[in-house]
Amino acid sequence: VLSFITPPEGEHIGILTNSGGNAVFFSDNVDKFNLKLAEFSDTLKEKIAPHLISLVKKINPLDMIGVAEEQQYYNIAREMFEDPGIDIIVGSVVIPPFLGMKSDEHFRGLIRAWNETGRKKTIDSIIPF
């Protein structure tokens, strides 16, 4: 598995999640790992805006709310992979069974974005239980 992971070139992390709790957890703990939350540029905010519902604040960590599906994870991750201000992308997923989501759909979006952007940045995915 580690042979597929690109070593990070910097310490700026971009986080996308569908859970506010995960967003708070990352915000509170990222410095413990000598990382910094990347500041979302105005350009990145403009690029991700069409893929988010209006309730979502375009800040890092990005809480896309529980309704985010594979396509949102793909679109947002793709823009984050292309952004020069982000070195590491973490996708965190809470799977709400009442919405009928599949356990792997979010990760398919993340991995597709990573593959299509040339795997130039480190990616990590987390499923809290």
pLDDT per position as a tens digit, 17-43: 888 888 888 888 889 988 999 999 999
Q: Where are the domains of the chain?
A: 2-126
Q: Which residues contact 32 (CB under 8 A, 6 or more apart)?
A: none
In this prediction, residue 96 carries a pLDDT of: 67
- Looking at the domain 2-126, which fold is it? Rossmann fold (3.40.50)
**Is residue 17 within 8 Å of residue 23, measured between CB atoms?**
yes
In this prediction, residue 76 carries a pLDDT of: 94
The Cα 91–Cα 23 span in angstroms is 10
**Is residue 64 within 8 Å of residue 18, measured between CB atoms?**
yes
CA 79, chain centre distance (Å): 10
In this prediction, residue 129 carries a pLDDT of: 46
User: How would you classify the pairing of strands 12-17 and 88-92?
Assistant: parallel
In this prediction, residue 42 carries a pLDDT of: 97
In this prediction, residue 52 carries a pLDDT of: 93
Q: What is the pLDDT along the chain (129 residues), one digit of tens a residue?
A: 445 666 788 999 999 988 888 888 888 888 998 899 999 999 999 999 999 999 899 999 999 887 788 889 899 999 999 999 999 988 887 776 666 666 677 777 888 888 898 888 777 766 554
